[in-house]
A and B are shown apart, each in its own frame.
Chain A
Amino acid sequence: MISSRLRFESSRATEFVDLTNRLRDELQKSGLRNGRIHMQSLHTTVGLAINENEPLLLRDFQKLLERLAPGDAGYEHDDFARRYEIAADESVNGHAHCRQLLLTGFATLLVEDGQLVLGRWQSVFAVELDGPRPRELAIQLDGEFAEVEREATKQAQLVELEITRQLMVDPDAVALPMRRLMEAGGKRLRPRLLQLTSLIGPRYDPLLAASLAAAVELLHSATLVHDDYVDESTHRRGRPTVAAAEGAERAIAVGDYYFAKATRMIAEIGPTAVTSTMAEALEAICASQIDDVAMRGAFPGDRSSYVRIVKGKTAALFAAACASGALLSDSPPEVVAALKRYGELLGIAFQMADDVVDFSPSSGKPVGLDIRQRVLSLPLIYAAEDREVGAEVRSLLQGSLGDREVDRVVKLVTSSDALRRVGDEARGLVEDALRELEAVELNGLRSTFVSIARSAVDRTA
C-alpha cells in the first residue's frame, strides 16, 4: 500500500477543483495495476464529489449548496462570544461546515489494469467551501502493484524527496512558485526515464540517479515557467502559471534560478559526458523555442517544421534523460546511443499524443487554448491539409481567433481524420523507438521500456 498527500490551493470561496488528472498521475507513478485509491479530505470545509466537469453544472451545484445552507442564515458556530478556544484565524464559516455535511469527506475509486475506473463524464472533485486556501487530501493506493513498477515507485519517491529537499533550501521568492508548480503534479516522465536507464550499466547508484533525475525535472520546469510567459498561458496543471500569478518579472527570475540550479546540480553530480549531454539538450530546447515562436507567423505550419521543432522542444530532453542515466551507470557507448535514439523518438511521439489530448476535455486546460495561442499542433496541421475541412480551417486560422472561431476549428479538427492520423503516427514512432532497443542488452528491463513508451502515447490526459 502507498500513502501520500495530495496538496492543492483553492482560488475561490466555493470551488470545484478537478483532481482527476492529479489522481491519474499518482496512479501512474505508483504502478498500481488493480485495486483502489482511497481519498479522504483532511478538512471540515472541503468535501469530495464525483460528477461532470461542465462549468454551468458546477454553478448549479454551487447554487444548490447556497440554497441549502445560505451564507447569511445565522449559524451558532459563528457566534464567537459563545465559543471556547477560538483560533486567531477563525473564520465565519458555519455555512461552509453545514455544506460539507451535505457532501462526503471520503471517496474510493477503483483501479483496473492500471487505469482509474471512471465513466465517460465522471471527474473527481475536491469541493472547496471556505476558500481560498491551501488544502490537503490523504490518499492511499491499495492492491496489486507490478513488481518492476514497485521499484519504480521507490525511485519516484526518491526523486520527489530530492526535489522537496532542494526546494527547501532555496529562497522563498523563487521556491514558493516552483513548489506550487511541482505540487500541481506532472508525469515526471523524464526523471523516470533517467532512473530507469541508470539501472542498465554496472555502476547503479540510486541516490545519484535520483539527484540527477530531480535536476532534470527542475530544468524541465524552469523551461515551462518561461514558456508560459511566452505563450501567455494563464494555467498549467489546473493552476495559475507563475507569470499569471506573480508577473513576468518573477517568472523570468524563477526560470533563471532553476535553470542555473539544475545545471549546477548536473555539474556537481555528473561525469563530463552527462553535463555535455544535458547542456546540448538545453540549447536545443531554447533554439527550437525561437523557431516555434517564429513559425506562428505561418500558423499552423507543416509537418516537417513541426517535427524539427518538436525534436528540440520536447524530444531533446527525453533523449538526454535516457542517455544520461545510462552514462551515469557506465553503460557501453552502443547502449547509450540506442537509448538516446529511443528517447528522441519517444519524445516526438509524446508531444504528438499531447497534441491529441489537447482536443479532449480531460486535458486539464480549456480545449482550443493552443489554437487561440497559435501553438504548434500536428492535428491542426493535418486538419488544415484535410480535403474536406482544410479550406475552412485555413481560412479561420488566417483571421482573428475569438471564441466562436476557436470552437469551430475544434469541431472541424475533431470531425476530420486528423486526430486519428496523429495518434497512429505517435504509435508508429513508439514502435520505431522500441526497435532501437532490440539489439542492446537492457538488464531485464525491456518490458518496462515497452510499457513506458506505450503508456506515453495511449493516454487521455
Chain B
Amino acid sequence: MSVQIVEAELDRLEDLWSNGLAETYRSYVDALSDHDPALQPKLALAASLIEVGLRLQGLGGRAAPPPTLLMGDLCLARGSRLLTEAASKPVQVAFARAIEGLSAAAASGKPSAPVRELLLHAFTATE
C-alpha cells in the first residue's frame, strides 16, 4: 500500500528517488513509527520531499542552477500538498514556519538548525 502511495507521487521526480529521496523517506518512516499507519507514508514522503527540495535549491548555500531549482520547487509544492492531505492543521502550520525560519536565516546569512531536526519537530505540533 505504502509503495503504491509513494509511486503515485513520484511523477517527474523518479530520478530523485534513486538519488537520495528513498533513503530520506525511509528515515522519516522510521521516525514516524508512532503515527497512524494509514497516514505514515504520505507524511514521511511530504517531509522527505521538503528536505530534499530545500537541498536541491541550495537554500542557505550556493544557488542551484535554474532547472534544479525548479525541481526543488516542485518537491516543496508536492510535499506541501501531501501535508494538506495527511497532516493536521497545526502540523501544516509548523512545517510552513520551519521553512520560513530556514529561508529567513538563509536570506540573512545566519546559521539555522538542521532541516531534519526542524521538520521532525514540526510533526509534534498540536492545537
Contact = CB atoms under 8 A, between A and B. Distances in A.
Most chain A Cβ neighbours within 10 Å, of B58, B66, B71: B66
Most chain B Cβ neighbours within 10 Å, of A247, A248, A254, A285: A248
Given A171-B104, A264-B96, A279-B81, A256 B76 contact: yes
B24 interface: no
Kindly list the 5 A-B residue pairs having the minimum CB-CB distance in the complex, ordered from nearest.
A264-B96, A248-B63, A260-B99, A173-B107, A253-B107
Nearest to B81: A279
Interface stretch (A150-158, A196-204, A267-275, A400-408): A267-275
Query: Which range holds the interface residue count of chain B?
Result: 35 or more
Contacts of A253: 59-60, 103-104, 106-107
A230 interface: yes
B74 A283 contact: yes
Contact of B84 (A247, A250, A268, A279): A279
Contact of A174 (B62, B78, B83, B107): B107
B93 A286 contact: no
22 contacts: A170-B104, A173-B107, A249-B106, A251-B63, A253-B103, A257-B104, A259-B73, A260-B95, A260-B98, A263-B96, A272-B84, A276-B84, A276-B85, A279-B80, A279-B83, A282-B77, A283-B74, A286-B74, A286-B77, A287-B11, A290-B67, A293-B70
B13 to A, nearest CB: 10
Query: Which range holds the interface residue count of chain A?
Result: 35 or more
A230 B66 contact: yes
A458 interface: no
A375 interface: no
Contacts of B107: 171, 173-174, 250, 253-254, 257
Secondary structure of the B side of the interface?
helix
A27 interface: no
A4 B63 CA distance: 38
B81 A249 contact: no
A97 interface: no
Contacts of A257: 99-100, 103-104, 107
Interface of B: 11-12, 54, 57-64, 66-67, 69-71, 73-74, 76-78, 80-81, 83-85, 89, 92-93, 95-100, 102-104, 106-108
Nearest to B100: A260
Contacts of A279: 77, 80-81, 83-84
A290 B45 CA distance: 21
B73 A289 contact: yes
B98 to A, nearest CB: 8
B104 A259 contact: no
Interface in A13-34: none
B12 A290 contact: yes
A272 B100 CA distance: 21
B59 A256 contact: yes
B70 A286 contact: yes
A174 B99 CA distance: 13
A260 B50 CA distance: 11
A148 to B, nearest CB: 33
